[in-house]
């Protein structure tokens, strides 16, 4: 079978705003009383200095919009963002849209039928026999099962596959008069918008996808939720999430590496989804990583916030553009389930 190789990445992001500007210009008025003081501390300690928003609350307040209106806006904003990311990834891989055999789209922040997969296939001129797959509601870890599906297709069919992760979390700001809890404040302080596309081809130069692995602790299914409400999607995020991750992440990574005759000491690139500063601290501690191992993850959180599914691909893009690209990369992402996903990449060529 052909070895699936990530031959091209493309990113696209809407305009950015500074975290302090978002706080002072919108969220400081969004919360009141004791909640406001708590929210200010959470925003200040989020590890985020800038975020991107297709619908910037400093310019347009969607917090009172019904879900139907948000979903219509999702399609308007996500389509050009996805098209830009896909175009850049195909160009980087030296391919045309008609070369794509499988098109996988991951998104948990908006739904429409026909979806982004069909509309982008139309606008980009993909072949009629291009297969499509939509991955929804997996949240922050969706990029890795998306990569796994694309990689399996490449290995089995010997044809290129394309993955797009596109999220518009800015559409889901909750109303100021809604039930406000710490989980909701954390969500408002962290999340951001982005689209990232990856092209996988059979063999060649790039990063070979050696394996995708996962573990799910279904006993903690209520620790992370993403509920569809009448006013957008509402995040539920238990403070126990880092503790659950601490029980599973070492075993997942060690087992993955052992199957390929490797140890964590041989990994020189770590792309760890920054669900927040505490998540990164737990991974750092449990894996006993060397200093600066998570620098790319922390820098991505600082400059882009938590963009849900595209985030781990943003970190991968940062790592591969480093002066000396890593030879081995472990990607880690976490989400509802609680689910932990890992992928092992090896630089080729």
Query: Dihedrals φ, ψ of 270, to 5°?
Result: -125, 120
Q: Of 108, 140, 165, 307, which one is the catalytic site residue?
A: 140
d(CA 103, CA 138): 17
CA dihedral 348, 95, 342, 130 (to 10 degrees): -140
Identify whether 140 is a catalytic site residue: yes
d(CA 205, CA 343): 18
d(CA 302, CA 300): 5
In this structure, is the dihedral angle defined by the CA atoms of residues 272, 274, 279 and 280, taken in order, positive or negative? Answer: positive
* 13 and 98 Cβ atoms separated by less than 8 Å: no
End-to-end Cα separation, the chain, in angstroms:
18
Which residues, 6 or more positions from 109, have their beta carbon under 8 angstroms from its beta carbon? 74, 167, 168, 169, 171, 172, 233, 308
Query: Dihedrals φ, ψ of 154, to 5°?
Result: -60, -45
DSSP secondary structure, 4-59, as one string: EEEEEEEEE---EEEHHHHIIIIIHHHS-HHHHHHHHHHHHTSS-SEEE-SS-TTT
d(CA 23, CA 148): 38
d(CA 283, CA 274): 10
Q: Give me the active site residues, please.
A: 140
């Amino acid at each position: 079978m052909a070895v699936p190789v990530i031959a091209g990445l493309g990113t696209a992001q809407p305009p950015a705003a500074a975290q302090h500007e978002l706080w002072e210009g919108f969220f400081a008025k969004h919360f009141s009383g004791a909640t406001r003081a708590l929210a200010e501390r959470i925003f200040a300690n989020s590890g985020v200095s800038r975020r991107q928003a297709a619908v910037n609350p400093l310019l347009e307040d969607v917090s009172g919009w019904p879900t139907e209106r948000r979903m219509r806006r999702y399609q308007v904003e996500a389509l050009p963002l996805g098209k830009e990311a896909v175009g850049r990834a195909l160009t980087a891989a030296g391919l045309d849209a008609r070369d794509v055999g499988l098109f996988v789209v991951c998104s948990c922040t908006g739904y429409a039928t026909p979806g982004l997969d069909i509309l982008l296939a139309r606008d980009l001129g993909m072949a009629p026999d291009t297969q499509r797959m939509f991955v929804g509601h997996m949240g922050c870890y969706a990029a890795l099962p998306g990569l796994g599906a694309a990689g399996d297709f490449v290995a089995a069919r010997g044809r290129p596959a394309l993955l797009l992760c596109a999220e518009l979390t800015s559409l889901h700001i909750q109303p100021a008069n809604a039930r406000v809890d710490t989980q909701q404040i954390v969500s408002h302080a962290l999340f951001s918008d982005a689209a990232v596309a990856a092209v996988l081809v059979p063999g060649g130069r790039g990063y070979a996808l050696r394996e995708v692995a996962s573990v799910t602790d279904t006993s903690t299914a209520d620790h992370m939720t993403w509920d569809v409400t009448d006013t957008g999607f509402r995040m539920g995020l238990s403070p126990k999430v880092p503790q659950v991750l601490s029980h599973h992440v070492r075993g997942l990574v060690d087992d993955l590496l052992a199957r390929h005759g490797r140890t964590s000491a041989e990994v020189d690139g770590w792309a760890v989804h920054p669900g927040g500063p505490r998540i990164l601290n737990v991974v750092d501690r449990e894996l006993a990583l060397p200093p600066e191992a998570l620098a790319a993850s922390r820098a991505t959180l600082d400059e882009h916030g938590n963009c849900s599914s595209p985030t781990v691909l943003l970190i991968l893009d940062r790592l591969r553009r480093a002066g000396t690209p890593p030879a081995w990369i472990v990607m880690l992402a976490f989400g509802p389930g609680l689910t932990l996903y890992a992928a092992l990449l090896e630089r080729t060529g």
